[in-house]
Amino acid sequence: MKVTKEKATENRTALIMAASRLFRERGIDGVGIAEICKQAGLTHGALYAQFPTKQALAAEALADGLTLSNRWLTAPGEDGKPPTLAHYLDYYLSPGSRDNMGGSCPMTASASEIARQDESISASFGEGFEQLAQAIEAALGKSHINASERERALAIMAALIGGVAVARGVVKANPALSEQLMQALRRVLGELGGEREGREVN
């Protein structure tokens, strides 16, 4: 039956949020329409009143997840200042983030899947990546390294995304390696970003 415009928008949001979480946890091919709709409190047919295809839902879910994640990550602190590099490292390189695939940055959850998806997904991913790269670039200080801040920001992003993906991949079989990798990244990326030694990084 028909439903308030307001309620319809609410349902659409619920679909996107459920899809966003489930796709991160199990991959796009790993989750069916039925389960997404069920978690959003709807029946499976309802999806097609909001989205033409599963791929279209996936594209919106990724874009939405990236927006939320980046907005939260780059929000100014209580002092009104933009986040420092340590803030980003704290976020990505914590067990809490590693063990919460469905609730953390979509780039770490889906990096190697993006190349297999439609161009609309590639575009969203690229924008999310660029956005965060600029925020990280702004957080960088001088470094020992003879590379521009832009270059160092891009390298830090790559290392965070790859590092979290690998830390998740090996944690079941080799938790010590997973931990060691995250600590190594804290140290190396901290220095790459120009943090003073012995500060928040150790």
Partner DNA sequence: TGTACATCAGTGAACGCGCGTTCACTGATGTAC
Burial class (CB in 10 A: 0-12, 13-18, 19+), 81: exposed
**Interface mask toward DNA for 43-62; x: CB under 7 A:** xxxxxxxx--xxx-------
**Using CA atoms, how far apart are residues 32 and 13, in angstroms rounded to an integer?**
18
User: Quick one: 22 or 182, whose CB is closer to DNA?
Assistant: 22
The answer to whether 60 and 13 are in contact (CB under 8 A) is: no
Position among 55, 94, 166, 200 found at the interface with a second copy (CB under 8 A): 166
Answer with the entry of DNA, a second copy, none that 17 interacts with (C-beta below 5 to 8 A by kind): none
Contact between 183 and DNA per CB under 7 A: no
**Using CA atoms, how far apart are residues 36 and 31, in angstroms rounded to an integer?**
8
Q: Where are the alpha helices (DSSP H) in 75-118?
A: 85-92, 95-98, 106-114
Contact between 11 and DNA per CB under 7 A: yes
Q: Read off φ and ψ for residue 71, nearest 5 degrees.
A: -60, -45
- Where does this chain bind a second copy (CB under 8 A)? 25-27, 29-30, 101, 107-116, 119, 122-123, 125-126, 129-130, 144-147, 150-152, 154-155, 157-163, 165-166, 168-174, 177, 180-181, 183-185, 187-189, 191-192, 197
- Where does this chain bind DNA (CB under 7 A)? 1-8, 11-12, 31-35, 37, 42-50, 53-55
